[in-house]
Structure 1
Amino acid sequence: MTDRPQQDWWSAAELAAAGLPDMPGSKRKVNEMAAREGWKARSGKVRRRKGVGGGMEYHWSLLPTRARLALIERREDMSEPKISRDEAWADYESATATARKKAGERLAVLAEVEEIEAAGMVRSLAVTTVATRSGASEKSIWNWFARVEGVAHADRLAYLVDRRSLRKKAVPVAPSAEFCELVKSDFLRLSGPSLTSCYDRAVRIAEKDGLPVPPIHQVRNWIKATISEPVLIYHRKGVEALRRFYPHQTRDKSAMVPLECVQGDYHKFDVFVRWPGEKDPVRVQMVVFSDVYSGKILAWRLDISANSHTVQLALGDLIERYGVPQHALLDNGREFAAKAITGGTPTRFRFKIVDEDIPGLLPLLGVKVIWATPYSGQSKPIERAFRDLCDRIAKHPAFEGAYTGNRPDAKPENYGSRAIPLEDFRAVVAEEIEAHNARPARRSEVAFGRSFNDVFNEAYSRAPISQATEEQRRLWLLRVEGLRADSKNGELKLHGSRYWAEWMYRIAGQKIAARFDQDDLHAGLHVYDLAGGYLGHAPCMEAAPFLSVEDARTHARKRNAFIRATKELAKAERQLDHHEIAARLRAAGKPVGDELPKADVVRLVPAHPKAPKPARRRDTTDQIEAAARLEAQITRLSERRAAPAEDDPRVRFERALTLEAMLAEGQPMTAEQRSWLAEYQQSAEYRGFARLRRAFGQEE
């Protein structure tokens, strides 16, 4: 036992936690004791604590006697191992199997010694006894006890490993450093030259520069020892090869449900197909959407090229039949990143987004888009289905002679001898996809020997599925803008087909937008205004055979029904006939004209010297004579007609004056009286008598 503990300086917290005799058990009490006994006044016994937190540290000699003795007694128990616990176990893992076995045997020897010592025998005698039994020397046993001094029993095994077994092989020294660097720099190139060629080129340089040339096997061993495999792959094969070198990620689908995520991609068939409107045979492309959980192919469409229109229609087929998915795992190609499909989605199209993007089909339906890693088949499980379809569709016996081969250098001998009609090709594709979904003995983590159909159907009945509304169903149809309706009846024409409904007279001559299915033009058009408002559906008017009597009769029945319906609507719209309107117009009386106000200031305009002279103005005498002649003419006409008293012009005029007086006084009048007065006031007879009355006044 030594006369001093292993640790000389103690903080207040450490003294409180040590549990020493005659010492307080809290940091605050220790500080109060130091202040009470004046520890800070003892020169060289108090110092500022270094490190985070600061504070004061006290020398162990300041402690009470019993506390100092306790620290000295604990010296051996408080000794720390030379290496940390983590380092010891790391060394144990890197040791050989033989070294780990020997460490276990040493641990058993120490346990036996401690067991005998616990029975009452002193340790020295116990060590001698166990050494005789085990064959180990007493000195070795004492060394093993020294290794595990202060170590927890659970960690003793790691400290008992023979350290000599941990010696790592030294990196071989380059036989000629400059020569080896020449070979290595030439060898680490993307063109991938052989080591022999790099060595030969380095020999030529070394002979010129006078460098020592070691044998090639020494250079090869040096390169293997100094260059890691990932670095070698990066320099000689590139970043993509290094990415493939990293282990792939295994993704679990067991916790998913149907339509939680769908995946879509394009596949180009290695088959020549006769496409309508194309002069030469083409290789058809198919867009496919499948369920990630079950692997079932849910929807597909064929087209001559990869485009967003086909993607949009295939998505519509999927949603129409099964429901709206929650997520969509899409390829990063332009056909999927088009604004019509994913506009407004973050990381869309080269991982950018702009505020002006029109919301696409998937964002409008609330589907979250997930972009697959470019050029990474592991990111798209649907690639496994494509490999299956390549074998079962492209090499189908019905397509013999039309198969093109999957590489330019793998063309079959009968290459180009056939081209399959599109409808025949479509029928085989539909048949094989159904067989693909129904094939049993699938080995995925959710199939357990069942088919994709069985997996999907079982979980689909229990999954929360969102169905699309009628308005949402029109979102995935193709959109064409700028169609102008016929100026007469609003008829529309698109791709050689005619579309019309009875309501379309309202859009005659206007520009509209329409949504349609390019594979089913006879299903009609959904018509929108240019602002996006839905107007209605326009059915297709199919052309009839020229000599078809039945089609002519059907068309006539539709036209007659339209005419009858229009007549009934017209009759309901008109509540008054023309006789009633004329009577009410006569009863309304003469319209009151605007009277020009009298000018208070009159400016005289002098006559031009060459202006024609105004006619002589007739005086009052001339007016009287003209009125007398008019009255005499009216009298002769009335006498010649020999009209009854009620047809006398004077009588009629007097009657009109009477009715006018009644109307002015507000006296009641019949509808016939009002009508007669309004009509008589428009006659020349009334106007003539009225002029006489204004000129000469009322007769007595």
Structure 2
Amino acid sequence: MKEWFTAQEIADAGLPDLPTTKRGVSLLAEREGWANNPAFARARGQRGGGFEYHYKLWPTLAQIEHQKRHLTVAAPAVADLPVPAPLSGRGATERDARLAILAAFEQFTRGARLGHKACLQVFSDKYNMRSLAIEGWIVDLVPKISKRSLERWQGAKRAGTFDQLAVDRSKARKGTGFIDTAENGRVRTFVLAVMAQNPWLSATSVQKMCQDEFPALTMPPVRTFQHAMKVLKASNAVALTKLTNPDLYRSTLTAAGVGTYRHLNAPNQLWQIDASPIDALCNDGRHTIYACIDIFTRRTVFLVSRTPRASAVALLIRKAIQAWGVPVQIKTDNGSDFVAQDTKRLFASLDIHMDLSDAYQPQQKGHVERIIKTFQHDFAALLPGFIGHSVADRKIIENRKAFSQRLGETEAETFGVGLSGQRLQGLVDQWAETVYEARPHGGLQGRSPREVFQASNAKLRTVDIRALDLLLMPVAGKDGRRTTTKFGLRIDGRHYATPTILPGVDVLVRQDPSDMGKVYAFALDGGEFLGEGICPELAGIDPAQFLKTVREMQAEALDEVTRPIKKRMKELAKGPAPIERILRQAVEQSPNVIPLPKRTEEHSTAQIAAALDAMDAIDGKVPTRTVDPAVAAEQQRLISLMDAPEGDLIARHEEQMRRHETQASAAAAIRLPSNVVALETPKTRYRRALAVMAAIQAGTADPGDAFWLGQYQTTAEFKAEQVIHQDFGDAYLT
């Protein structure tokens, strides 16, 4: 409201008891000395000079008329109020209406020449007659006021007790009814328990159950229960929702934060993946949608799968990696397809950290849950064959046809199915690329996922698609672990020969889905490729020829390994014995210290003394007893035998052994029938071969023996005996 006026503006206002010409206003101001009051008169700073006068210098009727025209009763623009105690909505609105009336009254009385009582009377009369500009919501709450009410409100405002201006008549009665107070609140608790256990019970049923539970009480009418149940449902909505629908409470009412992943500053730092049945049918049944979302950019990749399985997860990751690169971390739930060994092995091979959310806590991966909901509502609802998002939706769609029309129809006919799974995948990819990634996203401050990705300059980690395809190959059996044997690798009852892998090696086996006759063997950790395994039956190869090739390859591989070892073995055989090497090493490492002699004392027993006497007798130091001549002669003979050269003894012993063997062989030959031939061993045949070779060199060989030698030299037995002979020398032939 304007408060300062020039003489011309006062004349133009046409207010009571004021002149209507500029000259008349100037004479009135000069006569009453308006310019002599510095609080209500000021020099005009604009062109022409003169004075401006405050409206409080005017006569009372003129002031009232001016305020009537321009004063508005409304809530103050800025209310500097202390923090009040919690109020109901109605109480706070009533308080604000009274504060607005007080603010208008204070403005009305500012500078007025009337007394306080007169101001109260004039303002209340003007308010009740609607002569002031009053906002409608204030009139609805406070239709009439009195001088006493204004004085009481002013006192509460001066004391700072603004909440006393709040009036909520229902709050005064709240909590005083029968159901709230009976049995110290036990009736109220019982009613809440009944409502939580069965929300569909009527007020009549609840009244009867209360009468049965509290037979000593007289229950109020059903209308009271209806009103009380309505109030209890409203005041305990959160608690009742938690008890009756925990999933709804968790998704809509549980405390949740925002900005949990604001620390992410580049693409592919965190992905979230999940799956859900599509709310639409295809020609080949209902499919499952697998979704992957990059948290930083909100880009998405979808995969349509006929059934939930670990291979679908692998294909989803392959598709996302091919489009975006390799992520640092992937968060998923505890579904069997997400925690399968194949999935964990794939993540470990790609160096991707797997973060599992807690069981039955979908809010921990809310981003992918939200994108699946967006997919279902924005895309699946547009498909032919849409069956609704819930059982209720499905029933509504079914009811578009009468029951008589639906009778005998298939699901495809009822819901108008018209897409195959392959066609659906193409539409999903097109929608994700052209619609979802191009529209603004609330979590990206209004930018689209495509804009956020293009604005990022982070380096993306890529993988050769060939290596990725091999890592996606299924492993043999449950864990892919096999041990090579001389037959190779046994998989599903068939043997895969491994020419480059020796028996006894534990390997991780991956099967090629496009070629069942071939497998790939890796180290158990997957970090080293060991070779291929081939099944001749499935690969269409001649088994005999393939086995020959495998043996040749293994022999060549073994020869490369054993050649330097055998060479070194020969060198070791020609050198010192192992014990000599060990003793020599011990001597070299022993310290060069000569120990000082220790004090000794002679230890003796009767047996030791007797032994010394015997030795002295042998050495001739003690006279011996006279012996019998026959005994002496035998002693001399034995001594002579002991003194004979050791070589003669050995020769005589060997001669005796040969005579014994000759006699034994002759005796055995006499006992054998004429048609029995003594068995030959590999060593005897090898000796015969050496004898024939020597005869050939001497030129005395028999042609039949030479022919036999030529055949024998081509056998594996001859080659094996020859290798042993080379390793151990002629000592092997004895």
Scaled by the length of structure 2, the TM-score of the pair is 0.45
Scaled by the length of structure 1, the TM-score of the pair is 0.46
